[in-house]
Amino acid sequence: MAVPGDAALESLARRIGRRCVKEGLLLATAESCTGGLIAKCLTDIPGSSAWFERGFITYSNRAKAEQLGVPGRVLDRHGAVSEPVALAMARGALRHSPAGLAIAVTGIAGPDGGTPGKPVGTVWIAWARRRGARIEARADLFRFKGSRDHVRRRTASAALRGLWDARP
């Protein structure tokens, strides 16, 4: 998988913005390993204030719990880099904002921090959509190779592509 360049990320962000405007949806992000890169890609688009609601950068477990309401027992049981945490982050971004769509990412960008069960490059990405009082969410596991920057850029691209291709 090639590392996405700025032009590729910008193109995805523009298409997402147009779709959000067309559908009257606001978008929120909840980011850990990308540290705000996804929100940056989205807000680099002129006029993004019409559809980008807010971004949560929740790098620590404390931030995930305080800002997004991720339960401590979920973090303790599954670890920050897990499907349940990614889903809780995406749902929390919607519960703590008026947005109708959310992207959440949690992973190990490296170069350190990996384990045999969760090596560097392990990333969970979740997408959520508000449907009335109900929130629908899904998450996918990714294993990216490369440097810290490569892992982060591939994560941002996969998150945006997942929102574009198959939203919840």
Mean of the per-residue pLDDT values of the chain? 95
Query: Angle at which helices 61-68 and 83-95 pack, to 10 degrees?
Result: 40
pLDDT tens digits, residue range 111-143? Answer: 999 999 999 999 999 999 999 999 999 999 999
Cα separation of 42 and 56, whole Å?
13
Domains parsed from the chain with CATH numbers: 6-165 (3.90.950.20)
Give pLDDT, residue 1: 58
The CA R_g of the chain, rounded to the nearest whole Å, is: 15
- Contact partners, residue 157, CB within 8 Å, separation at least 6: 4, 8, 9, 12
What CA–CA distance (Å, rounded) separates 98 from 122? 30
Q: What distance in Å separates the CA atoms of residue 23 and residue 78, rounded to the nearest whole number? A: 35
Q: What's the predicted TM-score (pTM) here?
A: 0.95
